[in-house]
């Protein structure tokens, strides 16, 4: 039996922001590729320049996406419930941190904050499927070693993932240049074996052996661009104006090291 939504939110220690610049939340009903209807919660903070999106998958997994536009940092957090019949009595939380380019199609917080729904009960599907992006998370971040230099959101959003906050090493170099200082002290563990020699968890029978875990997280519906229409003004001049949004779907397949297959039982 799946736990109630409020209980999953309580376990997640979800970030609740109270303060100026926070726009009212939007609740969006989204049909996924399996035909299930999920409810996404979208919020934006104009003064701190972030956007959040959150939903619960049909398997009970709670997914939270945070976009820090100041530092061009994307955080995807997953809270996965344990499989009690396989010895997992608790949930686990992972954070996947990566760099994003503002030109990739994310709508800025000020534009996101102005979004409204005429028909809140409508079940929505995205206009464009942007496919799946494979990302190797070969760095494990220490949230207490100056992670705020990457994003001020990290220590709070990923507090429950202090031993499971991952990032690509290549992105750490980008953030170092942005912050103007060496951020290698953020590396809690540098994997000694690359992904090419460490076996994938799906191919390991010993549940206590280290391996490379695969986890796919899909954002089924999100505003990925603004639409502009054209009309003539009073003088007959052709002008353009914002007349809507474009919506997209995108999946991310994360590959990251775990101490034991027991932490990656879904990858089979």
| Each residue's pLDDT tens digit, 133-151 | 999 999 999 988 888 889 9
Which of 16-30, 83-97, 246-260 has the largest mean confidence?
246-260
Compute the average pLDDT of residues 203-221: 93
* Cα(120)–Cα(106) distance, integer angstroms: 22
Which segment of 20-34, 96-110, 188-202 scores lowest on mean pLDDT? Answer: 188-202
DSSP state of 87: T
- Whether 130 has a pLDDT exceeding 80, the answer reads yes
pLDDT score for 181: 76
- Whether 40 has a pLDDT exceeding 60, the answer reads yes
The better pLDDT of the pair 235, 60 is held by 60
Is residue 9 within 8 A of residue 62, CB to CB? The reply is yes
> Each residue of 57-114: pLDDT tens digit?
998 999 999 999 999 999 999 999 987 766 666 899 999 999 998 777 788 898 888 8
Give the three-class secondary structure for 192.
coil
pLDDT score for 125: 92
Say whether pTM exceeds 0.75: yes
* Cα(132)–Cα(20) distance, integer angstroms: 35
What ranges do the domains of the chain cover?
Answer: 5-263
Inter-CA distances, 152 with 20, 64, 73, 98, Å: 17, 16, 10, 14
Q: What is the sign of the dihedral through the CA atoms of 85, 91, 97 and 101?
A: positive
pLDDT score for 89: 65
**Quick one: 31 exposed, middle or buried, by C-beta within 10 A (0-12, 13-18, 19+)?**
middle
pLDDT score for 34: 82
- Whether 18 has a pLDDT exceeding 50, the answer reads no
Is residue 63 within 8 A of residue 76, CB to CB? The reply is yes
The better pLDDT of the pair 217, 245 is held by 217
DSSP state of 200: B
Query: Percent of the chain scored above 90 by pLDDT?
Result: 49
């Amino acid at each position: 039996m799946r736990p109630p939504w409020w209980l999953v939110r309580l376990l997640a220690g979800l970030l609740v922001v109270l303060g100026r610049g926070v726009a009212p939340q939007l609740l969006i009903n989204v049909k996924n590729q399996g035909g299930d209807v999920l409810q996404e919660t979208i919020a934006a903070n104009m003064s701190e320049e972030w956007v959040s999106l959150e939903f619960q998958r049909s398997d009970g997994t709670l997914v939270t996406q945070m976009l820090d536009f100041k530092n061009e940092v994307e955080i995807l957090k997953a809270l996965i419930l344990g499989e009690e019949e396989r010895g997992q009595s608790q949930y686990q939380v992972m954070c996947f941190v990566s760099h994003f380019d503002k030109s990739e199609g994310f709508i800025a917080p000020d534009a996101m904050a102005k979004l409204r729904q005429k028909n809140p009960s409508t079940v929505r599907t995205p206009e464009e499927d942007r496919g799946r992006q494979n990302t190797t998370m070969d760095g494990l971040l220490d949230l207490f070693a100056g992670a705020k230099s990457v994003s001020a959101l990290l220590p709070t959003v990923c507090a429950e993932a202090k031993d499971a906050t991952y990032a690509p090493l290549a992105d750490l170099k980008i953030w170092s240049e942005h912050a103007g200082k060496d951020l290698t002290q953020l590396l809690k563990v540098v994997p000694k074996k690359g992904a090419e020699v460490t076996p994938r968890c799906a191919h390991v029978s010993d549940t206590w052996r280290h391996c490379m875990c695969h986890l796919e997280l899909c954002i089924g519906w999100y505003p990925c661009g603004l639409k502009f229409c054209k009309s003539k003004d009073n003088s007959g001049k052709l002008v353009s104006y914002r007349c809507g949004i474009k919506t997209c779907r995108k999946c991310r397949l994360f590959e990251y090291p775990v101490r034991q297959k027991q932490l990656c039982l879904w990858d089979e």
